């Protein structure tokens, strides 16, 4: 196990900058998830740590030691790939033994290690089968077993669960999390699935266009997004973004300039950003509820589009400035259309500038 430091890590492919001067420290034993849309540089960063990609500039350090020049074979990192990378001509047992044999570990130790890892992953029934005949879930388990069998410095996981059925994926996610905690191995997990990131990570590193947008514990990214992109990318359903203009007693929302009264402190805070020509109010659907007393602070009249049920939760859609927004139905007044009041939880509302910057101010406690 090792702590990993990335210093001004930059990777360019021709004119394209895949990773743009990233600085990041991974604590020993930490589970970090790189999250972001395709092409954001998360996999490239992972491959740099693995030694499969050479940085254009910057340094990679394991426990303070620069490893840029070390070949992948010498870094003692483990990696689980997105698509199955088990050796198809070897049985699961031989696959797991492979990294140990490659390092010249003795037979008796190999046997011990295989027994140990077989127990953890419950692999006994498939140990002598070839990977080609196994279902994707079992294959990834075997790949995981192969990766942890030799106490790696860092465990790298490149969307390892994406080829697995939704139902089984949830289960694997939990197993993975428990395993990581049990082994205490520094882990980097790459995904574009924010739910996966939120449920797995000690720390989420949200990336976009080769840069880190925000890095922090899942709750921090959820509650305190660094910008509009972070707010949009994290949370399901996605955050509602309402275009707004500042007025004397609050905001005018959307093209229709629907009035939204704000309490004085909030209004005062926003006034500090009065120079912004357009601001966006962001509120998660979880923090919008159907009903309220029109005209009160935090209550907005909106045209209701419809309601629907997802599992035990009931949601509704409304329209602002041509965009569909969502909220939760907590108490039902039975109305099914027309103008309805909705209540925004003003403690959870976030504001953004036209360019996506988060608008912040000192909140009086």
Partner 1 sequence: MAVTRKAHGLSDRTVCGLFVLPALAVLVLMVAYPFISLLYYSTLRFSILRPGVPAEGVGLENYEFLLTDPDLWDRFVFTGKFVVMTVAVQFILGILIAYVLQRNFRGRDFLFTLFMLPMMLCPIVVGFLWRYMFNSEWGLVNYLFSLFGLGKLDWLGQAHNAVWAVVAADAWMWTPFVILLATAAFRGIPKDINEAADIDGASPAFRFFRVTLPLSMPILVIAFLLRLIDAFKQNDLFFAMTGGGPGSETMTVSFTLSKIAFGYFYTGEASALAVILLIIIIGLSMIFVRYLLRLTEGN
103 binds partner 1 (CB under 8 A): yes
73 binds partner 1 (CB under 8 A): yes
Q: Which stretch binds partner 1 (CB under 8 A): 96-104, 112-120, 245-253, 288-296?
A: 96-104
The count of residues interacting with partner 1 (CB under 8 A) is: 29
What's the distance, CA 342 to chain centroid?
Answer: 30
Name the phi and psi angles at 279, rounded to 5. Answer: -120, 160
Residues 351, 356, 362, 363, Cα dihedral to 10°: 20
- Per the listing, tokens 């077993």 go with 145
Judged by CB, which is closer to partner 1: 74, or 171? 74
136 binds partner 1 (CB under 8 A): no
40 binds partner 1 (CB under 8 A): no
- Per the listing, tokens 């403690």 go with 347
46 binds partner 1 (CB under 8 A): no
Tell me how far CA of residue 200 lies from CA of 6, 182, 191, 214, 331, in angstroms.
22, 14, 11, 17, 33
1, 7, 10, 81: which one contacts partner 1 (CB under 8 A)? Answer: 81
Q: Are 103 and 151 in contact (CB under 8 A)?
A: no
146 binds partner 1 (CB under 8 A): yes
52 binds partner 1 (CB under 8 A): yes
Q: Are 45 and 205 in contact (CB under 8 A)?
A: no
162 binds partner 1 (CB under 8 A): no
72 binds partner 1 (CB under 8 A): yes
C-alpha torsion sign, points 331, 332, 336, 341:
negative
Residues in 225-284 that interact with partner 1 by CB under 8 A? none
CA dist., res. 63 & res. 47, Å (int): 18
What is the nearest approach in angstroms of partner 1 to the Cβ of residue 130? Answer: 5
Residues in 196-225 that interact with partner 1 by CB under 8 A? none
Residues at the site binding partner 1, with contacts judged by CB under 8 A = 50-52, 71-74, 76-79, 81, 83-89, 98-99, 101-103, 130, 132-133, 146, 150
């Amino acid at each position: 196990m090792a702590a990993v430091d990335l210093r001004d890590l930059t990777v360019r492919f021709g004119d394209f900058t895949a990773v743009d001067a990233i600085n990041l420290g991974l604590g020993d034993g930490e589970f970090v998830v790189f999250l972001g849309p395709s092409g954001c540089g998360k996999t490239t960063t992972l491959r740099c740590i693995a030694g499969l990609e050479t940085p254009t500039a910057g340094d990679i350090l394991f426990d303070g030691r620069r490893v840029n020049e070390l070949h992948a074979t010498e870094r003692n990192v483990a990696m689980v790939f997105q698509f199955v990378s088990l050796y198809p001509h070897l049985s699961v047992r031989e696959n797991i033994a492979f990294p140990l044999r490659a390092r010249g570990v003795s037979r008796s130790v190999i046997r011990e290690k295989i027994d140990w890892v077989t127990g953890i992953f419950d692999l006994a029934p498939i140990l002598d089968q070839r990977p080609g005949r196994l279902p994707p879930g079992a294959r990834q388990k075997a790949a995981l077993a192969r990766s942890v069998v030799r106490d790696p410095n860092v465990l790298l996981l490149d969307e390892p669960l994406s080829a697995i059925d939704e139902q089984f994926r949830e289960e694997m996610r939990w197993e993975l999390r428990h395993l990581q905690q049990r082994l205490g191995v520094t882990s980097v997990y790459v995904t574009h699935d924010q739910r996966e990131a939120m449920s797995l990570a000690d720390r989420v590193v949200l990336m976009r266009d080769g840069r880190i947008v925000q890095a922090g514990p899942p709750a921090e990214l959820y509650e305190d997004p660094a910008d509009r992109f972070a707010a949009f990318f994290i949370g399901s359903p996605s955050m509602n973004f309402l275009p707004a203009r500042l007025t004397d007693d609050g905001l005018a929302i959307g093209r229709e300039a629907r009035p939204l009264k704000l309490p004085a402190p909030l209004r005062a805070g926003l006034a500090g950003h009065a120079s912004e020509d357009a601001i966006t109010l962001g509120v998660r659907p979880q923090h919008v509820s159907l009903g309220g007393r029109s005209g009160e602070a935090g209550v907005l009249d909106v045209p209701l589009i419809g309601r629907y049920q997802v599992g035990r939760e009931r949601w509704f859609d409304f329209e602002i400035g041509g965009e569909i927004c969502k909220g939760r139905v907590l108490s039902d007044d039975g109305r099914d259309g027309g103008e309805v009041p909705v209540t925004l939880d003003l403690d959870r509302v976030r504001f953004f500038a036209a360019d996506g910057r988060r608008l912040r101010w000192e909140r009086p406690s």
